[in-house]
């Protein structure tokens, strides 16, 4: 029966959270929702929605569970080398300071990696980096800029010593924090600003349906300045790149042409 079934849940959840699950891959979402329900001992969607109303903390934990926010500093280090050695030097020849967006930034590792790279190798060449995510909880963590020993493992030692304050944890220094502006933004629903030289959207679209992904890349292509570059995740590919006036200039990097 559709009553209290998947469609009912998707509608109720959208009303409550503003997140439209229709744009996400259903089998993945169902698996995660079912595992959450098992963990908290809720038998069906109707009970889950009821619990969201009674207990906002459960709702918050659910959104966190659903949005899969694993991240890493300099994730896929070899792609960051391409960014540093090939992409950014070309971009700053054309325009400086660069306008940069880290979309789906999770707990901040990606935009902070970028800020550190810009500060260390291209000082003065970045405007404030706009870092956005759908999930307010991860954004709050990102703004704090405090990371565990395990989380900072991927950062080369000389950068770790220079750009983090060591306490019981590792705290991003203020000069790097000031380079990043965190804001809530839904890639499926909110307006995209334009004229970006560099957009990073990595490991976000993998959870979207093909249709949602197509729309997303169309909007990114529009949001790039001429010759601007889109940097995507290591399991991702843009099939309709040519139609969007995007050209692959290195694996996982697309440039807007024309």
Ligand X SMILES: C[S@@+](CC[C@H](N)C(=O)[O-])C[C@H]1O[C@@H](n2cnc3c(N)ncnc32)[C@H](O)[C@@H]1O
- Closest to ligand X by CB, 134 vs 176, is 134
- Closest to ligand X by CB, 28 vs 44, is 28
Minimum distance between the CB of residue 85 and ligand X, rounded to whole angstroms? 20
Point out which residues bind ligand X (CB under 6 A). Answer: 67-72, 75, 104-106, 109-110, 133-135, 138, 186-188, 202-204, 233
Minimum distance between the CB of residue 209 and ligand X, rounded to whole angstroms? 12
Minimum distance between the CB of residue 194 and ligand X, rounded to whole angstroms? 18
Label the pairing between strands 146-147 and 170-172: antiparallel
**Contact between residue 69 and residue 33 where contact means Cβ atoms under 8 Å apart:** no
- Closest to ligand X by CB, 134 vs 246, is 134
Q: What is the CA radius of gyration of the chain?
A: 19
Minimum distance between the CB of residue 3 and ligand X, rounded to whole angstroms? 28
- Closest to ligand X by CB, 75 vs 95, is 75
CA distances (Å), origin 115, targets 5, 59, 128, 131, 200: 45, 32, 9, 11, 13
- Closest to ligand X by CB, 1 vs 70, is 70
Minimum distance between the CB of residue 76 and ligand X, rounded to whole angstroms? 9
d(CA 23, CA 188): 8
- Closest to ligand X by CB, 65 vs 162, is 65
Residue 7: CB atoms within 10 Å: 12
Minimum distance between the CB of residue 124 and ligand X, rounded to whole angstroms? 25
95-131 CB burial, b ≥16 within 10 A, e <16: eeebbbbbbbbbbbbbbbbbbbbbbeebeebbeebbb
Task: For helices 26-40 and 45-54, give the axis angle rounded to 10 degrees.
Answer: 70
**Contact between residue 198 and residue 80 where contact means Cβ atoms under 8 Å apart:** no
* E strand map for 134-239: 146-147, 164-166, 170-172, 180-184, 196-201, 224-232
- Closest to ligand X by CB, 17 vs 86, is 17
Minimum distance between the CB of residue 188 and ligand X, rounded to whole angstroms? 4
Residues in the chain: 258
**Contact between residue 230 and residue 201 where contact means Cβ atoms under 8 Å apart:** yes
């Amino acid at each position: 029966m559709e009553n209290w079934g998947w469609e009912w849940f998707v509608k109720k959840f959208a009303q409550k959270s503003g997140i439209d699950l229709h744009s996400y891959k259903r089998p993945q979402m169902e698996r995660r929702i079912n595992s959450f329900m098992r963990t908290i001992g809720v038998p069906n969607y109707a009970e889950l929605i009821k619990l969201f109303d009674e207990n906002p903390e459960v709702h918050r934990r659910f959104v966190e569970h659903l949005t899969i926010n694993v991240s890493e500093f300099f994730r896929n280090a070899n792609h960051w080398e391409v960014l540093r050695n090939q992409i950014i030097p070309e971009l700053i020849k054309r325009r400086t300071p660069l306008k940069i967006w880290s979309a789906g930034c999770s707990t901040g590792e990606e935009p902070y990696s970028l800020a550190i790279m810009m500060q260390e190798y291209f000082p003065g060449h970045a405007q404030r980096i706009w870092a956005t995510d759908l999930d307010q909880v991860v954004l709050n963590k990102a703004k704090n800029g405090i990371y565990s020993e395990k989380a900072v493992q991927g950062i080369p030692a000389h950068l770790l010593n220079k750009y983090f304050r060591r306490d019981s944890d590792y705290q991003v220094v203020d000069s790097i924090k000031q380079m990043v502006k965190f804001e809530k933004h839904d890639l499926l629903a909110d307006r995209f600003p334009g004229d970006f030289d560099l957009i990073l959207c990595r490991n976000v679209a993998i959870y979207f349906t093909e249709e949602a992904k197509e729309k997303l890349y169309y909007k990114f292509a529009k949001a790039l300045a001429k010759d601007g570059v889109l940097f995507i995740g290591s399991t991702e590919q843009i099939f309709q790149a040519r139609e969007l006036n995007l050209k692959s200039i290195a694996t996982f990097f697309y440039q807007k042409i024309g």
